[in-house]
Structure 1
Amino acid sequence: MNFERLFDFLETLNKNNSKEWMDENRNQYETVKADYVKWLEDLDLKLSKIDENYYSSSGKKAINRINNNLLYHPNKPTYKDHFGAGLDKRPKTGDFYIHLGIQEIFVAGGFYKPKSELLKSIREAIDYNGDEFKEIINSKTFQKHFGGLMEDEAKLKTSPKGFSQDHKHIELLRLKSFAAMKPFKRKEVLSNDFKDQVIETYKAMLPFRRYLNKAVTV
């Protein structure tokens, strides 16, 4: 995978963010995209050998559209400044997300601002066995890779409906997102072992994601 070419394309696109430019350079985009899709499919195959419950998907299905949704975000540029892809995403579960951009590069997973019914299920799981969840996120492996949960600026200042203020896990129950993220530098993406680093990140996040996915599917 030529990640240098991927970043070069994104930087040029960011400076010429228009449909007219994209139409003129469609072949360049398709070449970069096809290269990345192939890389994702090899990663998908490797990850499927780690977890027996892994939900496999093609690279074309995993990769996100590069167009911004201007219907809901009319002030955004026509195209994104990154390639995003989600793997191991069974319907109504959290995915394993890879974000390669000119501003941010990271691997993340879990649930970022989930719908109310999913959030309710996660809170119920924490109410039932929050000690297990705390043990996962406080483990040496999780802390080493992610440093804890992603900061949640939307978290409640009081207790959610149905839970008391003095609940032993009240700080977790106040959250509206349950996600973990590991940032990467561009030089790490360009290194020969980037795929191995992503695989190690997947392994480190697996207990966390298993807990959350079980919470929303049981």
Structure 2
Amino acid sequence: MAELFSHPPFPGFRLEAFGFLRALTANNDRDWFKARKETYEAELKEPLGLLLTDSARRLADTDLPLTAHPTDSQFRIYRDMRFTEDTTPYKTHVSGVFDRSGHRDKNGVVYVHVEPDSCFLGAGFYQPSVSYLRPVRDRIAAEPERFLALLDEMKARDLPVHSMEDTLTGMPKGFSDYRDAPIAPYLKWKNYVVKRDYPDEALQSPNFAGEIVRMAQDVRPLLEFVWAVESSS
């Protein structure tokens, strides 16, 4: 916790940050990036770290169990090219995540994505393991009305829950009895996530740290529905 208070407040991303990412899209190669790595660190990596710590400080003033680390909670800009034919070495965005440990190793997060004309906050449960999903599906099956009410509540907050079109084609093992139930589509989901889009200008303001807290508060019903499964399993 002390480390959070050793960092200055988030100042907002400068226009140069978005300019760098646009230029990287057009010049996605190692030589170009290496010559401008200091710009990347000054305009993107360091401000993102400040956004993470500033927001984490504000979250610490709530009873939400979410936090972040200035470096551990950032995703690397270097792409993993082991399983793709796309050989471009760098992502054209930067991103970070708030979870319950501050080290990107807990399910149930708020995710910040910084990309020109495509900035957003996401939240929920993204690509959890099958073993993690099993008790979640059990609870949905056991409390279908409560889960459907949760979906309605999130939709009313303009944060509809979805699976990013990543679903099973058939019912998961052990749930075939629910194939005709209203909850059948949701038992097939592999993700339970929400998204809120922002213009680039919003991330240029120091106030965006407060937006992350608001997002965390708004998505709380979804997070707690699933976290409750952990504590009971």
Give the TM bin, normalised by the shorter chain. 0.7 to 0.9
1:81 partner letter: T
Q: CA deviation at 1:206?
A: 1.2
Q: Please give the per-residue CA displacement for 1:160-198, whole angstroms capped at 9, x wherever unaligned.
A: 221212335222212221111111122332345333222
Residue 36 of structure 1 corresponds to 48
Residue 102 of structure 1 corresponds to 116
Q: Please give the per-residue CA displacement for 1:37-71, whole angstroms capped at 9, x wherever unaligned.
A: 1121011110122225x143311111110011012
Structure 1: 5+ residue stretches without partners: none
Instruction: Give SS of 1:29's match.
Output: helix
Paired positions, count: 215
| 1-structure distance, mates of 2:211, 2:164 | 26
2:191 is equivalent to residue 174 of structure 1:
no
**Quick one: structure 1 residues 71 and 112, their matched pair in 2 at CA, closer, same or farther if it must change by over 3 Å?**
same
Runs of 4+ in 1 over 6 A off after TM superposition: none
Corresponding residue to 2:200 among 173, 180, 186: 186
| 2-structure distance, mates of 1:55, 1:202 | 8
Corresponding residue to 2:165 among 153, 173, 177: 153
Corresponding residue to 2:88 among 63, 77, 91: 77
| 2-structure distance, mates of 1:58, 1:160 | 36
2:79 partner letter: N
Residue 143 of structure 1 corresponds to 156
Q: Is the 8 A contact 1:89 1:96 kept in 2?
A: no
Q: With structure 1 as the length reference, what TM-score do the two structures score? A: 0.87
2:228 is equivalent to residue 196 of structure 1:
no
**Quick one: structure 1 residues 76 and 208, their matched pair in 2 at CA, closer, same or farther if it must change by over 3 Å?**
farther
Instruction: Give SS of 1:78's match.
Output: coil
Which deviates further from its counterpart, 12-21 or 61-70?
12-21
| 2-structure distance, mates of 1:150, 1:102 | 24
Identity %: 21
| 2-structure distance, mates of 1:66, 1:152 | 22
**Alignment RMSD (CA, Å):** 2.1
1:34 partner letter: E
Q: Is the 8 A contact 1:133 1:208 kept in 2?
A: no
Q: Is the 8 A contact 1:142 1:205 kept in 2?
A: no
Residue 116 of structure 1 corresponds to 130
Instruction: Give SS of 1:196's match.
Output: helix
